[in-house]
Amino acid sequence: MAMLWAPFLLFAPALMNAQVNTGHEISLQASELTNTIIQYNADRGSLDRFYMLETSPERTERLKLLDRQYSLRLQQFNFDKLGLDGKVDYVLFSRNLQNDLRLLEEEAVTAVASKGYSPFAEEVFRYEKKRRRGAVLPAAELAKEMHGWQTELKQQIKKLETDQQINLVTAYAAQRRVKDVRDALKSIHDFYYGYDPQFTWWMEAPYKGMDSLLNVYSDSMLARARKNSSSADDGSGIIGRPIGAVELKKQLELEYIPYTAEELIRIAEQEFAWCDKELLKATREMGFGTDWKAAMEKVKNTYVPEGKQPEMILDLYNQSVDFIKKRDLVTIPPIAEETWRMNMMSPRQQLVNPFFLGGESIIISYPTNTMAEPDKLMSMRGNNPHFSRATVHHELIAGHHLQMYQNDRYRAYRNFYTPFWIEGWSLYWEMILWDMGFPRGPEDRIGMLFWRMHRCARIIFSLNYHLGKWTPQQCIDFLVDRVGHERANAEGEVRRSFQGNYGPLYQLAYMIGGLQFYALKKELVDSGKMSYKQYHDAILQQNQMPVEMIRQILTNRPPRQNFSTSWRFYPGEIRN
């Protein structure tokens, strides 16, 4: 026992003599609303796990009740007496609750619209509700019902062949409902099968038949909706869901972005023009005159030999961390440095994400033995060392890994997720490392500019798509012609944007969020009010939230209770 405690005893005197500022410690973790938000997060998690079927009316109504209850609880706080952090938490928590209620109401309307395509769903949901409490189900009766549902499904599949009414919106909503029906039946089957003799005897064939038919039905609905929509597939094979100008406006307001979609496109075009000038400078330095595509071609062909990509990534990581440390730009906790690691991305996943993913683990996109020869070459060229110079620190330190590390340690109760904080922060680091001379020569500058142009392009193609102006194929062609993407990588990027699990604003959040952090840096660091390290550490200790709210905190401006965006963060005029 003595030996077990020895390491602690060695450090005990230092710990006992340390003076802890308890007030400061509390201020780094809490506001007056901390407990309320923690309780909500826990309650919401419990309900999400219990009411697991997303399209179930039971779930929708229960979550609406929860949001209303916490909205009333929030009103019990005297807003004027809250501190700065408390006021920020109040405004953002209230915003989240109201937006969640709006989404739940919309889900309810969508469920009604798609109800005709899953007429027996609520009967299945009722059985699943009984299963949660372990009720003994009438197996013979359920098997008989399943036989009837299969007959109904076969008729529905037949009807789809001539259905001219189903559109993509309805089909996607109906697919979600069918998925919930499959999940509910699986939940029932997995609970009773093999444990309940009667259920096992009666349900073997009916369950398998139902699950198979539901899968066919789901695919048939989407196929029919695509046929009905002449513009659904433009030849790219990418079928997304443009949300339109009205919904874009709502989502931008929710994120405190005071610009219209059209203004954001013009901002991207102006940033693109800066990239063009810098690209031509680097192209001339490389001896290619104004032929930037030839210069980029040379850069792409600097890819490392097969099997050497992880080694190259480690070298780039070491270079970027050394660069950051020498300039004392941000606190890098030892455990954050110690615990990051690498993983390889599967060929299937690379179809959606042809580049890096990051966080505590950097996930490497690079060829495998199963990929076709042209795809191998495109992957290697698209992940060359000069392109990767902007992405390794984006994914690790001081980007996503450091963000996630600090989110677990400071104000972890805050549930104010936003891609403008997540992706904007990492893009901002690309900007300031460029300013400080991190690229070593024209090849590095072209590599880093490729990604800067890519982020400009994301704003342009994603907003034009959601405004109904561009097709996915036009987006792919734009990335190839204007940015210099390999075609397969461009296809993967557009597929990720419109068929991945990303919100409509996600792709524009990189550059726009980065510009917000950059503007705030000018306001606080360039003016001499804070050092780089103070500024960066302060951001990471707030946890994630809209960048304008970070500004309210760091400039000591308590938000109004009815806060709305007013920060025109982009410098100068937005030209038409």
Question: pLDDT tens digit string along 480-532?
Answer: 999 988 888 888 889 888 877 788 999 999 999 999 999 999 999 999 999 99
Distance CA 538, CA 536 (A): 5
Given a contact cutoff of 8 angstroms between Cβ atoms, the answer to whether 117 and 221 are in contact is yes
Length of the chain: 576
- For residue 3, what pLDDT is reported? 42
Q: Find out whether 89 and 411 touch, Cβ atoms under 8 Å.
A: no
Q: Is the pLDDT of residue 472 over 60?
A: yes
Query: 341: which 2 tokens?
Result: 């690691």
More confident residue, 383 or 553: 553
pLDDT band at residue 1 using 50, 70 and 90 as cut-offs: very low
Helix axes 532-540, 400-407, angle to 10 degrees: 60
Burial of 296 from C-beta contacts in 10 A (0-12 / 13-18 / 19+):
buried
What pTM value is reported for the model?
A: 0.90
Nearby residues of 17 by Cβ (< 8 Å), 6 or more positions away: none
pLDDT confidence band for 352 (50 / 70 / 90): low
pLDDT at position 220 is 93
Give the pLDDT score at 9: 38
- The answer to whether residues 317 and 392 touch, using CB atoms and an 8 Å cutoff, is yes
3-state DSSP call for residue 54? coil
Question: Would you tell me the crossing angle of helices 292-300 and 442-466 to the nearest 10 degrees?
Answer: 110
Ordered alpha helix ranges (H), 365-486: 373-382, 385-388, 392-395, 400-407, 419-435, 442-466, 472-478
Residue 14 above 70 pLDDT?
A: no
538 token code pair: 């302060």
Q: Is the peptide bond before 273 cis (omega within 30 degrees of 0)?
A: no
Read out DSSP for 323-342? Answer: HHHHTT-S---HHHHHH-EE
Tens digits of residue pLDDT in 201-214 = 999 999 999 999 99
Alpha-carbon distance 118 to 210, whole Å? 13
pLDDT, residue 85, reads 97
Closest CA to 459 of 236, 162, 259, 247: 259
234 pLDDT band, cuts 50/70/90, is: confident
Residue identified by tokens 């990929």 is 371
Distance CA 445, CA 437 (A): 10
Please list, in sequence order, all residues whose beta carbon lies within 8 angstroms of the beta carbon of residue 379, skipping any fewer than 6 positions away.
350, 354, 365, 366, 367, 371, 486, 488, 489
Res 307: pLDDT: 84
Over residues 314-328, the pLDDT tens digits come to 999 999 999 999 999
